[in-house]
Amino acid sequence: MQFLTIGKLAKETNVNIETVRYYERIGLIPEPPRGTSSGYRQYPMQVVSRIKFIKRAQSLGFSLKEINDILTIRYKPDSSFNDIKNKIETKLEEIDEIIKGLHEMKKALIKLIKSSNIKINEIEWPVLSLVFIKYTTT
């Protein structure tokens, strides 16, 4: 079996070394064995795909806790699809809320653009600000 040092793993997965250590600390990746002569961590190759999964899931809006829950279910020997179904349904509801908010924001922006002859002091900034604040702070 081929192993990677933390530096090579970080380079292979395009993350910082501290990110690898953090994932290990919070249990997203298992603690690797250490080389007997060097004392360096020796990560198995399958950790590459696991970190790439974590980064892809994050880019799709999953939190590290949600990703950890998914990985825990995934690697639990007696787990089934029903174990993860509720998590998927909850995430779909969150996505629907985000989409709804984006549609509201789009409508507000289109309305603002279409009212180009309006004076700057007549624009309903509080309403527009609420739309931006609501969907940029969540």
What CATH number is associated with residue 59?
1.10.1660.10
Chain segment 15-46, per-residue pLDDT in tens: 999 999 999 999 999 999 887 677 888 999 99
Q: Which of 13, 17, 11, 6 is nearest to 40 (CA)?
A: 6
Instruction: Tell whether pTM > 0.75.
Output: no
Chain segment 92-110, per-residue pLDDT in tens: 999 999 999 889 888 877 8
Mark whether 4 and 64 lie in a shared domain: yes
Mark whether 53 and 91 lie in a shared domain: no
Mark whether 68 and 135 lie in a shared domain: no
The two structure tokens encoding residue 21: 């250590």
Which residue range forms the structural domain that includes residue 127? 85-138
State which amino acid sits at residue 136.
Answer: T
Mark whether 92 and 73 lie in a shared domain: no
Longest dimension (CA), the chain: 75
Domains held by the chain: number: 2
Mark whether 74 and 97 lie in a shared domain: no
Mark whether 49 and 104 lie in a shared domain: no
Mark whether 59 and 1 lie in a shared domain: yes
Dihedral sign computed on CA atoms, order 55, 60, 63, 127 = positive
Mark whether 65 and 123 lie in a shared domain: no
Beta strand residue intervals within the chain, DSSP E: 3-4, 43-44
Map residue 72 onto helix, strand or coil.
Answer: helix
